[in-house]
């Protein structure tokens, strides 16, 4: 009985530990961020690796400093964002623009980042969480969940029939009687 309770508690804690980062990815505001994105390339290695999840805090170009890691679109309206380090800030007739470069890249990015392209600054990362999230979106996930559900139900049915509850009659000193169920 005690071993089963410890196993159940351990499984619940494991499920919570696995669920918390996924909830943070789905609802980044619960983790104090505005957006969450999965790193797809190795351009920022070793700082960020493919499969890491970056949590982004929205920012304006005036909030950014040299050395910050930012997420931006390569041009306004382009959907695929980049996450690179700011290596220079220039103020000219166009306003303030940022020069960026991936840590693993030999040269700066070919475009300047302006305020319209900036999504935000890196708030924090969770390494490799993206692999778990992408895996959860695979076609095998429903099958795995069905198999786990069947195994769980089978385990509980087996446990119930292997150790059925025992009952015994008991009575109070006043003449009332009742059944006591001892569950294993």
One domain for residues 177 and 118: no
Question: Does 10 fall in a domain?
Answer: no
Question: Does 63 fall in a domain?
Answer: yes
One domain for residues 43 and 112: yes
Q: What is the pLDDT of residues 74-105, one digit of tens each?
A: 876 667 899 999 999 999 887 999 999 999 99
Q: What is the pTM of this model?
A: 0.69
One domain for residues 119 and 45: yes
Query: What confidence tier does 160 reach under pLDDT thresholds 50, 70, 90?
Result: confident
Looking at per-residue pLDDT, the higher value among 54 and 14 belongs to: 54
Q: What is the pLDDT of residues 111-147, one digit of tens each?
A: 999 998 999 999 999 999 888 877 766 776 677 777 7
Looking at per-residue pLDDT, the higher value among 182 and 72 belongs to: 72
Question: Does 17 fall in a domain?
Answer: no
Q: What is the pLDDT of residues 32-56, one digit of tens each?
A: 999 999 999 999 999 999 999 999 9
One domain for residues 108 and 178: no
Give me the pLDDT at residue 168, please. 63
Which domain does 96 fall in, by range?
32-129
Total structural domains within the chain: 2
Query: What confidence tier does 11 reach under pLDDT thresholds 50, 70, 90?
Result: confident
95 — alpha (psi -120 to 50), left (phi > 0) or beta?
left
For residue 42, the domain's CATH number is 2.10.109.10
């Amino acid at each position: 009985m005690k071993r089963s309770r410890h196993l159940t508690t351990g499984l619940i804690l494991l499920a919570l530990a696995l669920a918390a980062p996924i909830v943070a990815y789905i609802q980044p505001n619960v983790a104090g961020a505005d957006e969450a994105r999965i790193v797809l390339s190795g351009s920022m290695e070793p700082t960020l690796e493919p499969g890491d999840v970056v949590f982004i805090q929205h920012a304006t170009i005036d909030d950014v400093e040299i050395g910050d890691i930012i997420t931006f679109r390569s041009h306004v309206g382009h959907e695929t964002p980049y996450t690179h380090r700011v290596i220079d800030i220039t103020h000219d007739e166009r306003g303030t623009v940022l020069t960026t470069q991936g840590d693993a890249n030999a040269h700066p990015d070919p475009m300047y980042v302006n305020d319209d392209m900036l999504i935000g600054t890196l708030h924090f990362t969770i390494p490799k969480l993206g692999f778990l999230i992408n895996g959860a979106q695979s076609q095998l996930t429903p099958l795995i969940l069905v198999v786990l559900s069947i195994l769980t139900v089978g385990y509980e049915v087996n446990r119930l029939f292997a150790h059925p509850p025992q009952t015994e009659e008991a009575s109070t000193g006043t003449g009332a009687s009742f059944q006591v169920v001892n569950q294993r």
